[in-house]
Amino acid sequence: DEGYWVPSDPSREDFDDLSGVSDLQLKPEELTLLSLEPAWARPVPPLLEATVDEVFWLSPSQLLSEPLWDYTMCADTSLGAEVRELFAKAVKTPLPADQAQVIIDGLGQDVKLVYHCGLTPKKLPELVEHNPQIAIEVLLKLMPSSQISNYFGALVNMEMSLHSLEVVNRLTTSVDLPPEFIHLYISNC
């Protein structure tokens, strides 16, 4: 039988009417000391006066109503993406002069773009046949690379055509080619 706390001496004068206590349906978890705390009156804190240097931050007078956009942000990557897209087309079909010029200009602006355009020695013969001018520019940009011998090997092993002769002729007049390449190319003619 669980009982609730009831005063032991009901005859005391401060406990005159205890008839209402038995009618209360109180649970033990409701009888805590926190329920007996007085409600503290908490006044609203006073506003502090703003100093001269704080007023600027509260109401900036130089605030622009429009955001300032940086239109140059990420602009250079669109050129690389366009060159890679045109390069994929150049390997498969002949390009119009304006699109070929976009590739040549892109390679001139970014020297490392030639390494990211997707050209491999296996694709070089197709590029030479469809777009010899682009092939010349790409090979000239690849000359300092350690992989240029692979591209020369692809040129030597490809079928002889007017375009391949044009590419090799322009390379021999533009840069110093390795003598082994020239001898191998001539012997395969």
- Of 155, 161, 162, which is closest to residue 185 (Cα–Cα)? 155
Instruction: Indicate if the pLDDT at residue 47 is higher than 60.
Output: yes
- Of 189, 114, 110, 111, which is closest to residue 157 (Cα–Cα)? 189
The packing angle between helices 148-157 and 162-174, to 10°, is: 140
The model's pLDDT over 93-108, given as tens digits with 9 standing for 90+, comes to 999 999 999 999 998 9
Positive or negative torsion for Cα 99, 103, 104, 106: positive
Q: How many CB atoms lie within 10 A of CB 84?
A: 15
Please answer whether residues 118 and 107 qualify as being in contact, where contact means their C-beta atoms are separated by less than 8 angstroms: no
Q: What does the radius of gyration of the chain's CA atoms come to, in whole angstroms?
A: 44
Report pTM.
0.58
The model's pLDDT over 135-188, given as tens digits with 9 standing for 90+, comes to 999 999 999 999 999 999 999 999 889 999 999 999 999 998 888 888 888 888
In angstroms, rounded to a whole number, what is the distance separating the alpha carbons of residues 189 and 135? 20
Instruction: Indicate if the pLDDT at residue 117 is higher than 70.
Output: yes
Identify the pLDDT of residue 19: 55
